[in-house]
């Protein structure tokens, strides 16, 4: 029995989900089972294809589309609350070694659920489950309970020069 730790990947730079998926691949190839719950995303990015090609990994998307430019509605709140409940059950049962809560901090930022609710879910997990929480705007309360916090800081990005997201690189 090995203790599972809490990771937070946050900041305004690119690479938070990418880092989490890299860890997921490392875990799967070492014989671990991985669950990824994506709280905001609903689009099938290329990384979501690994689920059908690799045993031991499950990805569920709970997002209802991008509301980063619009205010979330009641259905968005309901979907996020249901996602948190599902992830809570998965974390407690311990059938996955690594659980990634992708963009959970964005759900917090848009007040789809509270930081207290998220912290309770994480703290009440099976103690052997490693958990990774990704997204911008990680609140201080979440950072305090984490064992590992990485901040991705944007220094320079070609997006500013008008470069759209590219197949196989950003999506």
The residue segments making up the domain with residue 20 are 6-153
Question: Is 113 a domain residue?
Answer: yes
The predicted structure's pLDDT at residue 92: 98
Question: Is 119 a domain residue?
Answer: yes
Supply the pTM of this predicted model: 0.93
The predicted structure's pLDDT at residue 66: 61
Best-predicted range by mean pLDDT among 44-58, 73-87, 113-127?
Answer: 113-127
Q: Which residue has the tokens 């880092």?
A: 19
Specify the CATH number for the domain of residue 59.
Answer: 3.40.50.300
* pLDDT above 90: residue 171: no
Question: Is 165 a domain residue?
Answer: no
CA angle 4, 119, 111 (to 5 degrees): 135
Question: Is 147 a domain residue?
Answer: yes
Rg, Å, the chain Cα set: 15
Best-predicted range by mean pLDDT among 44-48, 116-120, 160-164?
Answer: 116-120
Question: Is 20 a domain residue?
Answer: yes
* pLDDT above 80: residue 68: no
Domain total of the chain: 1
Confidence of residue 111 (pLDDT cuts 50, 70, 90): very high
């Amino acid at each position: 029995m090995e203790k599972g730790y809490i990771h937070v990947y946050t900041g305004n730079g690119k690479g938070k989900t990418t880092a989490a998926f890299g860890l997921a691949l490392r875990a799967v190839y070492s014989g671990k089972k991985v669950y990824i719950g994506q709280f905001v995303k609903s689009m099938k990015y290329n990384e979501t294809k690994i689920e059908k090609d690799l045993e031991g990994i499950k990805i569920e998307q709970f997002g209802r589309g991008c509301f980063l430019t619009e205010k979330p509605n009641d259905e968005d709140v309901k979907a996020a609350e249901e996602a948190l409940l599902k992830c809570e059950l998965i974390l407690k049962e311990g059938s996955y070694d690594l659980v990634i809560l992708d963009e959970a901090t964005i759900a917090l930022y848009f007040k789809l659920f509270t930081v207290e609710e998220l912290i309770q879910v994480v703290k009440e997990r099976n103690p052997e489950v490693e958990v990774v929480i990704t997204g911008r705007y990680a609140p201080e309360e979440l950072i305090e309970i984490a064992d590992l916090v990485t901040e991705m800081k944007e220094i320079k990005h070609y997006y500013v020069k008008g470069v759209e997201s590219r197949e196989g690189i950003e999506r």
